[in-house]
Structure 1
Amino acid sequence: MKITVISVGKIKEKYFNSAIDEYTKRLSRYCKLEIIEVNDEKTPDEASEAEENQIKKAEGERILKNLKEGAYTIALAIEGSMLSSTELADKIEKLGVNSCSHIIFIIGGSLGLSDEVLRKVNYKLSFSKMTYPHQMMRVILLEQIYRAYRINSNEPYHK
């Protein structure tokens, strides 16, 4: 299976890059992983709602250009469904059984995802009602994908 992570913004912190590299290496046993970074927009201090919507729209257009026909798309969104690690593993396994060979996970920028992106996806996944930095979210997502493959392979994982 191919897993693509589309994420708004670049990772600048070395510790996040080290963690991403580690999970990329671990996942190479289970899937073909691709990470696509799209440029983020600068958000002015005290931006109006209209300015924020324009920023999300610009970032959303960059995301939409990277979606592939036939891929199952999952957006990380606070308003999405919360799954346990085993439920995410089950979802990934069922997609594979149903002939899905490509899953795309989408991580928005600091303002979230545009309505255009949210309307286009197959599923909205929430990790929490809390907000996390998108750089950290990339690490958390990769860890959960890795955990899902370990669960589906009946390999030990930390509970």
Structure 2
Amino acid sequence: MNIKIVCVGKLKEKYFKQGIAEYAKRLSKFCKFQIVEVPDEKAPEKLSDAEIEKVKEIEGERILSKIKDKEYVYALAILGKERTSENFAEEIKELTTYGTSDITFVIGGSLGLSPAVLKRANTQISFGRFTMPHQLMRLVLTEQIYRAFMINAGAPYHK
């Protein structure tokens, strides 16, 4: 089983890197886990709607270049479907049981995901209506993926 997170931008904060590295190490007994970073498009603070869409389009092309046809794609989107940890674990179990061995999660940049990326996604997932820095979201997502595997293994971790 392969789990991949495709995300926009570089992770600079040491504390996020350490947390993600810990969960990646724990995940190694369940799956091949990787994070693929694509460059963010430089943009000034004040952008017109057209400029925002252009930035999302460029970042979206970079994201899509890292996704293969056979991958099942979760797009992280504030308006996506919220799940409990148990529901999420069940989804992962069902996907792997029925032949999907490549699951990809996509975290967009500060302006969000392009329509093309949202269209390519098999589903959208939300971690609530809060806006979070995408660096923090990487850590939260990695922990939740680990939690799903632990739930599916019947381990007490998630209590």
TM-score range, shorter chain: over 0.9
User: 1:158 Cα shift?
Assistant: 3.6
Instruction: Please name the residue that 2:153 is paired with.
Output: 153
More displaced, 43-52 or 3-12? 43-52
Paired residues, number: 159
On the 8 A contact 2:10/2:39 being kept in 1, the answer is yes
Q: Distance in 2 between matches of 1:17 and 1:145?
A: 16
On the 8 A contact 2:86/2:148 being kept in 1, the answer is yes
Instruction: Please name the residue that 1:53 is paired with.
Output: 53
Q: Secondary structure at the match of 1:157?
A: helix
After superposition, give the CA deviation of every residue in 1:98-121 in whole Å (9 maximum; x if it has no partner): 110100000000011000100111
1:125-144 mapped onto 2 (5 Å cutoff): 125-144=125-144
User: 1:43 Cα shift?
Assistant: 2.1
Q: Distance in 2 between matches of 1:155 and 1:62?
A: 37
Stretches of 4+ moved more than 4 A in 1? Answer: none
Letter of the 1:91 partner, please give it. E
Instruction: Please name the residue that 1:20 is paired with.
Output: 20
Q: Distance in 1 between matches of 2:136 and 2:45?
A: 22
User: 1:42 Cα shift?
Assistant: 1.6
1:91-130 mapped onto 2 (5 Å cutoff): 91-130=91-130
Letter of the 1:97 partner, please give it. T
Q: Distance in 1 between matches of 2:50 and 2:130?
A: 24
Q: Secondary structure at the match of 1:47?
A: coil
What CA RMSD, in Å, does the superposition of the two structures yield over aligned residues? 0.7
Q: Distance in 1 between matches of 2:89 and 2:133?
A: 24
After superposition, give the CA deviation of every residue in 1:12-68 in whole Å (9 maximum; x if it has no partner): 010011111111101001110011000001221211111111100000000010111
Q: Distance in 1 between matches of 2:87 and 2:75?
A: 16
Q: Report the TM-score when normalising by structure 1.
A: 0.98
Instruction: Please name the residue that 1:67 is paired with.
Output: 67
On the 8 A contact 2:76/2:124 being kept in 1, the answer is yes
Q: Distance in 1 between matches of 2:80 and 2:115?
A: 13
User: 1:131 Cα shift?
Assistant: 0.7
